[in-house]
Amino acid sequence: MISPSLLSADFTNLEKEFKIMNEEKVDFIHLDIMDGNYVPNISYGPGIVKSLRPLTEIPFDTHLMIERPENFIEEFVKAGSDIITIHPMATKHIDRTLSLIKGYGKKAGLALNPGDSLDVLNYNLEKLDLVLIMSVNPGFGGQKFIPSALRKIKEVKQLIEKRNLKTLIEVDGGIKLDNAKKVLNAGADILVAGSAIFEKDKTRENIKAFKELL
């Protein structure tokens, strides 16, 4: 599956970007929420998410790169998020925050940064709909894929299979047409791609090219 990251979209013409994603039937739309605190960048918040909601029925895959995400879950639910992914180190109580997301009937994800080990999954995996494996350090689009993510994808996949779960693996950062196949072969279910998808006059053809690889 493919989840284009809106971060690289043309923000002066989001209506056009959504029209293309609707017509090309992408699986999810990846929304990167950054607070300038958990990550060294600021993007956009729930108000923008809410105003984008009427433009599509495609599920919103919301990646919260914010401190204390527990304080904003309700707002993102109200704004129309379908999947809400948090970073474990950003929250005070991982299990409580995941329960909060699930309590609203939404899908919950946990993100692992390139330097994070799998340990955090040990007692949380059963609660997760999705594990987001970061293949760049969170904060910016257009960075280079960190190869150690491939081993992490395989290890997470093994863990999910060993426990007979259906948890999806999503991979985010530096994914291009020329490394996507490797990421899929390692065990990824959902590819996030920003700069490799949103490109002036080429967005539609880029989505088509990614879909052909899936």
Question: Which one of 46, 69, 109, 174 is in contact with ligand DX5 (CB under 6 A)?
Answer: 174
Taking CB under 6 A as the binding criterion, the range among 3-11, 14-22, 70-78, 152-160 that sits at the site for ligand DX5 is 3-11
87 binds Zn ion (CB under 5 A): no
Contacts of 73 (CB under 8 A, 6+ apart): 84, 97, 100, 101, 104
| Other C-beta atoms lying within 10 Å of the C-beta of residue 56 | 15
| Other C-beta atoms lying within 10 Å of the C-beta of residue 194 | 23
Q: Is 172 a catalytic residue?
A: yes
Q: Which amino acid is at 112?
A: L
Q: Residue 83: name the closest of 128, 134, 145, 116 by CA.
A: 128
Question: Which one of 17, 32, 67, 170 is in contact with Zn ion (CB under 5 A)?
Answer: 32
Provide DSSP, 46-115. HHHHHHHGGG--SPEEEEEESSSGGGTHHHHHHHT-SEEEE-GGGSS-HHHHHHHHHHTT-EEEEEE-TT
Question: Which one of 101, 169, 191, 193 is in contact with ligand DX5 (CB under 6 A)?
Answer: 193
- Tokens 């690889």 belong to residue: 213
> Smallest gap, in angstroms, from Cβ of residue 137 to ligand DX5?
7
Question: Which one of 17, 24, 63, 171 is in contact with Zn ion (CB under 5 A)?
Answer: 63
| Nearer to ligand DX5 among residue 47 and residue 142 (C-beta) | 142
| Nearer to ligand DX5 among residue 42 and residue 99 (C-beta) | 42
Q: Which residues form the interface with Zn ion (CB under 5 A)?
A: 32, 63, 172
Interface positions with ligand DX5 (CB under 6 A): 5, 7-8, 30, 32, 63, 136, 138-143, 172-175, 192-196
Active site residues: 32, 172
